[in-house]
Every structure is written in structure tokens, then in C-alpha cells.
Amino acid sequence: MAKVSKNARIAQRAANAGSGKEHVKVVKPIKDPVTGKVTFKETIVHKDKVKEFFANK
């Protein structure tokens, strides 16, 4: 195996830093009109699209 420099690892970590922190998991309760039961829709969306997710029915 080749030796990886410390600076290369830091640069790679900085490049991947924002990839997962901009997404959030949202849970939306949905009531069934026939039975009255509540189910939940879970989705991972970008943090800027959260209001749009809850606005859609």
C-alpha cells in the first residue's frame, strides 16, 4: 500500500464536508379518509425543499 499524506486526507475531507449536512429526514403524517388511520411518509430532502414537501398533499 502506498502512503497517503496528511494534507491529502484533509483536502479530501474538506471536499466531502457539505455532502450530507444539507439533507434532512422529514416525517409527514397522512390520515386515510376511509379508515381514519394515520400513516407516516418518511423522506430525505434537501433542507431548502422542506416547506415544499409539507405544502404538497
pLDDT: which is higher, 21 or 52: 52
Residue with cell 497517503: 4
Q: Supply the pTM of this predicted model.
A: 0.56
Residue 27 near residue 40 (C-beta atoms within 8 A): yes
Separation CA 35–CA 25 (nearest Å): 27
Which of 45-51's residues contact partners 24+ apart within 8 Å by CB, and which partners?
46/22, 47/22, 47/23, 50/24, 50/26
Question: pLDDT (tens digit, 9 = 90+) per residue, 12-32?
Answer: 776 666 666 889 999 999 999
Element (H, E) at 31: strand 23-31
